[in-house]
Amino acid sequence: MKIVSRIKLPIDKEMELFEKKFSQSMSSKVSLLNRITHYVVNRKGKQMRPMFVFLIAKMTGQGNVNERTYRGASVIELIHTATLVHDDVVDDSNRRRGFFSINALWKNKIAVLVGDYLLSKGLLLSIDNNDFDLLKIISVAVREMSEGELLQIEKARKLDITEEVYFEIIRQKTATLIAACCAMGARSVMAPDDEVEKMRKFGELIGTAFQIKDDLFDYGNEHIGKPTGIDIKEQKMTLPLIYALNNASPKDKKWLINSVKNHNKDKKRVNEVIAFVKNNGGLEYAVTRMKDYQQEALQLLDSYPNSPYKESLELMVNYVIDRKK
């Protein structure tokens, strides 16, 4: 059985029902909008985020979920989808998960409006049901994601990213949404505040490990379709590169910064940067840090009794850093 199917096993029924509820939560009186949201729903990914919501809810709620859990998962997915739609416009991207993006098929104006619609649907789903505690969790996540993106853009101009700033960027950009999923799952079943915070931290740790793994893919992986050096071409300072920079001689440092800033479209130069990072311990360092976050996340699960939900969450933590794409 595939690893994702094994993770999903204890929440199969919930995920099936969630998909129906999620489709309903997108419905509109405007046929164009329904056509577009139908396109979105039919091209879903692995749905890791709702899986986190249900697994955490069942682990912290003695195996039970409720309507709030379904609404929480729907809100997360609506808002996550809205951010992806907007991201594709910002990045001028024509593909998403191997399919045409909304802006490629329906143009930017419609894509931005669809993103706004999904965002408002997510907020209203919480407000209409008085789930203000759940609304706060997701609103904080949206604010942090926006700040993280802008911080990364600001730093890319100067290339003055320290390791501390890098971790702050990925905490906000990537980890904060997974943290919100985990906090949402616990909060939906009325877990106490300290437990909600513990699960939020768990999600943040996994999200950070997930992003470091993504950074490592930029340095080559035979299983992934993504070409190497994309981050360097986009002047994104990732952990392997930051480590190599911080430990380089002044001469090499100058060459690295000049390469990333002024020669990032030169394939030969990009490959030289990749080789430098590999030869100077950048990848090993990033792998070590990633495993630290993985172990810290697993330790947070130690206090829970064994259950199929805990087992799936442990599988999920390991899958995040063992995945091939």
List, for residues 274-284, the tens digit of each pLDDT value: 899 999 999 99
Helix then strand then coil, % of the chain, to nearest 5: 75, 0, 20
Amino acid in position 225 = G
236-245 burial, b for 16+ CB within 10 Å, e for fewer?
Answer: bbbbbbbbbb
Candidates 20, 7, 112; CA nearest to 58 is: 7
Q: What pLDDT does residue 158 have?
A: 73
List, for residues 231-276, the tens digit of each pLDDT value: 888 778 889 999 999 898 999 999 988 888 888 888 888 889 989 9
Q: What pLDDT does residue 98 have?
A: 60
Its pTM stands at 0.88
- Distance, C-alpha 111 to centroid of its chain: 21
DSSP for 149-191, please give it. Answer: HHHHHHHHHHT---HHHHHHHHIIIIIHHHHHHHHHHHHHTT-
List, for residues 154-197, the tens digit of each pLDDT value: 887 777 778 999 999 999 988 999 999 999 999 999 999 999 99
Q: Confidence class of residue 224 from pLDDT cuts 50, 70 and 90?
A: very low
Q: Enter the tokens of residue 32.
A: 């164009």
For residues 16 and 45, the model is more confident at 16
